[in-house]
Every structure is written in structure tokens, then in C-alpha cells.
Structure 1
């Protein structure tokens, strides 16, 4: 028996799963905010910030009016400047909807590391770059990378419909491992499409050779390598964003993944028209 997956439908399902994971799952709710007042000084905020919160929502008469950057005073003495004179007012740059996907937040979190979460007409919570370490984010990232890997598989099989063609392009040791896995599947009557037995590193090799992506080979290999380096700790439940620098790299990698996936879909649509 052959279990031949419908890759197109499976990718669509993964995107639905990804989009169902919203920022509301990982935000700090408003009732848990540590806020500051416009009348306070930077020195006041520094004094009562032992946990080193990077940003404070600024509250005036029960309403949130902006964000205050407290990270500047982690390693230096804060001045007597009032918060009112240095507040980042509410704007599209720091607002995100509660039902926005986690993926939407990751796409811009290195540029806007703290967002106020809006539900209806109210500020409902706060989300920051450090939240990229949370479990729902891991699920969103892994589903995105899995759907990308499936898209690569589709492109490879479009480029070389005969599995023997693309298998011949793999390094000898990788090809031998692949053949052994396929043989094992057939013995157990659990055979699936040959491409499903390949690992990310195999697909990476083949997608570079396929010409499916309009990007220079060296640049493409580096981009795929960054995605693979994010994929591996996600797959093995290891740490992947343990510092601000690593979290920002995750954001960059996700934008690269989306760019490459769009290229693959353009390639697939072009192939289907010829």
C-alpha cells in the first residue's frame, strides 16, 4: 500500500494551523502590566525596574497613551527627564491586533520589539521580542518551516518527475541512506512518496540545483542554511532564541523563509502553465 499525501492540501492546513496561533496566546494581559506615569522621571522608572523590563506602557488617567523605553537605563544612570517628554506615542508601529497571528508579529519583531495588543477599542495586552521563546511560537515556527519543506518537495518533484533523476543528484552517502529508508518502507508495507524520505539537508541540496528559486547560488545556500539552523533546535526541542540577538535572527530568518516560499510558488505556477 502506498500512502501518497496531497501536499497542496497539507500545506494549506499547516498555514491554517499557523494562523490560528495568535498573539493573544502569548501576550502579557493588561491587568499584569507594570506601567509608568507621564509625571515620573527616567530616574523614577529605573529605580523601580529591578526586573529590567525593556518597555513600560505609559498610563494617564486610566488610559494607555504610549510606551516608554527603559532599556536605555540598564547600564547607565537615568536622568531626571520626565516620561511625558520622552514617551513613544501610540502609532501603527507599536500596535498589533489580538487576533493577529504570532507569525505576523515575528515578521517585524526585530524592528518593533514591543507591541501593545489591541482588542476592540482597548489595549488588552503587551507582547515583546522575548516572547518569541514561548511554546505557541515554537509551534508556529515549526509549522512554517514544515510547510516550506513541503513546498520544496513539490518544486523538486515538478522539476524532476522521475525520483531516479533527483536521487542521482544527491551525494553518495545521502543517496544510500535514502535507498535504505525506501527499501525499509516497502518491506513494512508503509511506502510513501520517495521525496518524503528525504531530510531537509537533501531538499536543500536539490532545491539549489533545481533552479526553482531566482537567487544566486551562494546567497541561496546561505539562506537555506539559516532556515535549517532554526529548524534543527525547533525539531529537537532545544533553545533557539535565548537572547535578544538570537531572537532578532529568528525574525530575519522568517522573512527569508517567506521570500523563498513565494519564489517556489511562483516556480510551481509557471511550471503548471507550460
Structure 2
């Protein structure tokens, strides 16, 4: 008996899972804000910023009117001047809806590291680059990478309908491991499609060798390698965004993943047309 996975349906289901994980799950609620007043000075904020918050929501008449960047004074003395002229006013650059997906935030968080979260007609929370380490984000990232891996698998079987053709292209040690796994599956009457026995690194090798995408091989290998380096710590519950630099790299990698997946799906759709 063979259990053949429906890659198209699975990819679509994972897309729905990703979009169901919203920024509302990871935001700091408004009642927990540490705010500042536009009448305060940079020195005032530095003195009371014991937790080293990078940005402060700015409050006026009990309303949030913008953000103040306090990070600039982390390593030098702040001046005794009012912050009013340095407030970043409310704009599309720093606002995000509470029901927006986590990926809506991640794809721009390296450029806009702090967003005010809007629910209805009010500011309901705040989300920042450091929130990329939260558990719902880990789940969202892993589902995105899983759907990307499924897309790679579908591209491979589209390009080589006969499993023997792509199996022969794997390095000897990878091919032997794969053939052993397939044999065990057949012995136990639990066989599935051969492509399902491959690991991420196998799919990366085959996608690059296929030449299916209009991307230079060296560039494609490097891009998929970055996705693989994000996947590994996610899969093993390890740290993946423990610094600002690492978190920004995650944002870049996610944008890269989306672009590559779009290229893969375009190839599949064009090739499968009758």
C-alpha cells in the first residue's frame, strides 16, 4: 500500500495556518506600555529606561501620538532637551493591525523594528523586533519553511516524474540512506512517495540540479542554504534570533523564502498546464 501525499492541498493548508497566527498573539498590550510624554527630555527618558527599551510610545492627553527612539542614547549621554521634535508621528510605517499575520510584521521588521498595533479605532498594543523570539513566531516560521520544503518536493517530482531519475543524482551516501529508508518502508507496508523520504538537504541539492528556476545555480544554492540554516535551530528548539542582528537576518530570510516559493510555484503551475 502506498500513501501518496497531496502536496498542493498540504501547502494550501499550511498557508492558512500561517495566516491564522496574528500579531495580536505576541504584542505587548497597551495596559503594559511604558510610555513617555512629549514634554520630557531625552535625559529624563535615559535615566528611567532601566530595561533599555529601544522605543517608547509617546502619550499626549491619554492618547498615543507616536514613537520615540531611545536606543540612540544607549551608549552615550542624552542631552537635556525636549523630545517633542524627535517623535516619530503615527504613520503607515509604524502601524499594523492586530489581525495582521505575524509574517506581515516579520517581512518589514528589520526596516521598522517597532510597530504600534491597531484594533478598531485605538492603539491596542506594541510589537517589536525582539518579539520574533516568541513561541507563536517559531510555529509560524516552521510552518512557512515546511510549506517551502513541500513546494521543493513538488517541483522535483514535476521535473522528474520517475523517482529513479532524481534518486540517481543524489550523492552516494545520501542515495544509500534514502534507498535504505524506502526499503524499510516497503517491508513494513508503510511506503509513501519516495520524495517524502528525502531531507531538506536532499531537496536543496535536487532543486539546484534541476535548473527549473530562472535563477543562477550559485545564487539559488546560497538562498536555499540560508533557509536551511534558519530551519535547523527551529526544528531542534534552539535559539535562532537571540540578537538584533540575528532577528534582522530572519526577516531577510523570510522575504527570500517567499520570493523563492513564488518562483517554484510559478514553475510548477506552468509545467503542469495541459
1:6 aligns with 2:13: no
Separation in structure 2 between the aligned mates of residue 40 and residue 210 of structure 1, nearest angstrom: 61
Counterpart of 2:81 in 1: which secondary structure?
A: coil
What's 1:268 paired with? 268
What's 1:231 paired with? 231
- The CA deviation at 1:83 is 1.6
Structure 1 contact 230–250 (Cα < 8 Å) conserved: yes
Separation in structure 1 between the aligned mates of residue 242 and residue 45 of structure 2, nearest angstrom: 26
What's 2:125 paired with? 125
Q: Deviations over 1:41-79 (max 9, x none)?
A: 000000000000000000000100000000001100001
* Matches for 1:142-181 after TM superposition, within 5 Å: 142-181=142-181
Q: Deviations over 1:200-254 (max 9, x none)?
A: 0000000001122211111111101100000000000000000000000000000
Structure 1 contact 212–263 (Cα < 8 Å) conserved: no
Question: Unaligned regions of 5+ residues in structure 1, if any?
Answer: none
What's 1:56 paired with? 56
1:207 aligns with 2:169: no
Query: RMSD of the alignment, in Å?
Result: 0.7
Structure 1 contact 30–124 (Cα < 8 Å) conserved: yes
Structure 1 contact 67–88 (Cα < 8 Å) conserved: yes
Separation in structure 2 between the aligned mates of residue 68 and residue 93 of structure 1, nearest angstrom: 14
Separation in structure 1 between the aligned mates of residue 110 and residue 3 of structure 2, nearest angstrom: 41
Could you tell me the TM-score, scaled by structure 2's length? 0.99
Moved over 6 A (4+): none
Structure 2 contact 156–207 (Cα < 8 Å) conserved: yes
Question: Unaligned regions of 5+ residues in structure 2, if any?
Answer: none
Structure 1 contact 66–87 (Cα < 8 Å) conserved: yes
Separation in structure 2 between the aligned mates of residue 83 and residue 148 of structure 1, nearest angstrom: 45
- The CA deviation at 1:81 is 2.2
Separation in structure 2 between the aligned mates of residue 102 and residue 256 of structure 1, nearest angstrom: 16
- The CA deviation at 1:273 is 2.3
